[in-house]
Structure 1
């Protein structure tokens, strides 16, 4: 990346017509004369044959040289302090515009990318190279791999399924539904899994479902520091990505073409297990899972549903309110307001995949005047085995 650098050569800095180097030389010369005069004065002072006129002449010469030395030293010290301040300013400027820290270099490159997009300017090859893309995109409309990965892989606003589900970033991904196989088909003990594989096959193919995320940028943020600009844009985009992930996984009425992504869709038809109350429904759902899935099962539910369960079970006993959710329900609990009905199962069989190509663009909200940094991404969520999950429901009252 190109940076504007300036230098402060010492020889061109003058103080009263003299350079710092010349002032140092003058200090040395006058200092030597002063030292010699003081030595002569000390010798004359103890010489009984020396006249008072000679001693007074040496005293006057010493005082004159001392005054000259002090004046030159003051000039030297002032100029040296000025040059140190300018050198520190130069170092700070160079550090800001060409930092040695790889993290800061990456932040600066991201900021330059965002500003170039917002100002409708081409993104230079140097920026792509600084972001680890080696110019492969040729300055096109693809985000550098490091930028798109930072947005997709580490959201600021969390999707609670991260840490549970599998996440990849591979184009045209195909994977087996089961992690292993034996030469004997009868090794699948869970009959529901065997039936599912017989109907749907043992391979999962991921599609490309487009979505856009908008990050609003005010003029003050756009013209602010690299760190604040990059942090604001990335957090906004990451929040949008996380919201999209949760929305497709827990949609009760999925968009056309996204039905397969939701645990609740009739297309997936994840088995629903009932109980006379939510506590028993969750317990029944855990028990209904085959042991292959029950071992790693987790529960995703709303905090409100969990609070209702505790209130019912406690019946005035405060002890249950301090217990861990896993102690109450028997499996780890993850809270998400999107889970309108508790989903119980082995979330290793929930898999998100992103296409490698992420496009960038800009837009403007004419109502607010806020500029928008826009990304277009492609994502798919596959429930690799519906048999690995159960949905807990309360038995309807007759």
Structure 2
């Protein structure tokens, strides 16, 4: 009686919940059995004593092993592709500073994306999303932007607005602050006569108002259906840019809207910042610094446009390139910030420049029917108070007839 070859008995379902490593091991085991069987089949094929039944049995065993190998390989390839996709996604998240799905940053990013999508699609925002974003209202019925998102939008420094690095920024309701942070029992403790006169006219307390404005962040359907990271980045970048643009506009405009005149450094009238003149930009700034009281000069900074600065550097170089290579701070000994909207340099202690976002930021949606693009709309209430005009000077070049 001819010995029948032993068939490898494997339960295909056995591989259903295996790890990728175990799949590789099983593929290697079956592959070795298949290779061995192919060798036996080749030997039998040239063996004149082998019967057709022997060859058919070996061929059947080979077909069975091949089928099992293909099934396991399919499972292995699917699992490997899934792990590679997760690894790629993880690398993208790491490059954006997001560690993993269990990382708090990732949870916040996901919650932000869900809030944006729910708002645009006019769907309710789930309590879990509000909780992740630090919602201060437990009812969930209002349109208040949750704490995490509003704080990051309003309070994080933005490169696009240099004032964010030197002015005071708050997000407080009905804010009132004293103009001077300390008092003495002597009424005549203020040595700067300009400050004393200003406080006599305007009082010693600043009350912040509410000036409403909106920022629109266009969101296409492609971005809306895309990844959480891309959606959040797209919307936040637009909102941050809008807030920065508004802050700079109200602070440096020479044609303010009605009711916003007090927010501009270039406000005219009885409460205008004092103008100090010079024969050129360099001299005007030097004179402005000298004219400031020492209490403000110590922490003074300069805001000017870059075109004026290049004129100063060109004048100071006088045939050499020393100042082109030197930092701007080396020219006047004070920090210099560049803002193109600063048509005349502003010199002073910018801690007395105070931006406040009153109330909670609101969010809603709007649709441009002409383009079909959805807008994530942010409504904010902003006020900029120059708490002490005497802490600043405006440098201006004397115009000769």
**Which band: TM-score by shorter chain?**
0.7 to 0.9
In the other structure, the counterpart of 2:13 is 19
In the other structure, the counterpart of 1:255 is 257
Distance 1:208 1:198 in 2: 25
**Per-residue displacement from partner, 1:44-80 (whole Å, max 9, x unpaired)?**
xxxxxxxxxxxxxxxx9xxx9xx89x94995896487
In the other structure, the counterpart of 1:353 is 356
Gaps of 5+ in 2: 1-8, 27-53, 94-99
In the other structure, the counterpart of 1:396 is 399
Contact residue 136 and residue 146 of structure 2 kept, 8 A: no
Distance 2:81 2:341 in 1: 57
In the other structure, the counterpart of 1:45 is none
Deviation at 1:158, TM superposition (A): 1.8
Deviation at 1:314, TM superposition (A): 2.3
Deviation at 1:156, TM superposition (A): 4.9
Deviation at 1:365, TM superposition (A): 2.2
Query: Is the partner of 1:317 in helix, strand or coil?
Result: coil
In the superposition, the TM-score normalised over structure 1's length comes to 0.78
**Per-residue displacement from partner, 1:302-356 (whole Å, max 9, x unpaired)?**
0100111122232322223222222222321111101110000000100011124
* Matching of residues 1-398 of structure 1 within 5 Å: 18-20=12-14, 71=65, 74=69, 78=73, 81=76, 84-85=79-80, 88=83, 99-133=101-135, 136=138, 138-154=140-156, 156=158, 158-267=160-269, 268-398=271-401
State the aligned residue count. 349
Distance 2:263 2:346 in 1: 14
Deviation at 1:206, TM superposition (A): 0.9
Distance 2:155 2:139 in 1: 21
Shift in alpha-carbon separation, 1:81–1:329, aligned structure 2, 3 A: same
Query: Is the partner of 1:163 in helix, strand or coil?
Result: helix
Contact residue 155 and residue 235 of structure 1 kept, 8 A: no
In the other structure, the counterpart of 2:39 is none
Contact residue 348 and residue 393 of structure 2 kept, 8 A: yes
Alignment RMSD (CA, Å): 3.4
Deviation at 1:139, TM superposition (A): 3.4
**Per-residue displacement from partner, 1:249-305 (whole Å, max 9, x unpaired)?**
111111111111111011541000001111111100000000000000011000100
Deviation at 1:99, TM superposition (A): 2.3
Distance 2:83 2:143 in 1: 39
Shift in alpha-carbon separation, 1:183–1:113, aligned structure 2, 3 A: same
Shift in alpha-carbon separation, 1:91–1:397, aligned structure 2, 3 A: closer
Gaps of 5+ in 1: 1-14, 28-59
Shift in alpha-carbon separation, 1:312–1:90, aligned structure 2, 3 A: closer
Query: Is the partner of 2:172 in helix, strand or coil?
Result: coil
**Per-residue displacement from partner, 1:69-114 (whole Å, max 9, x unpaired)?**
x94995896487368559859988x999x92111111111111111
Distance 2:335 2:281 in 1: 16
Query: Is the partner of 1:359 in helix, strand or coil?
Result: strand
Shift in alpha-carbon separation, 1:144–1:396, aligned structure 2, 3 A: same
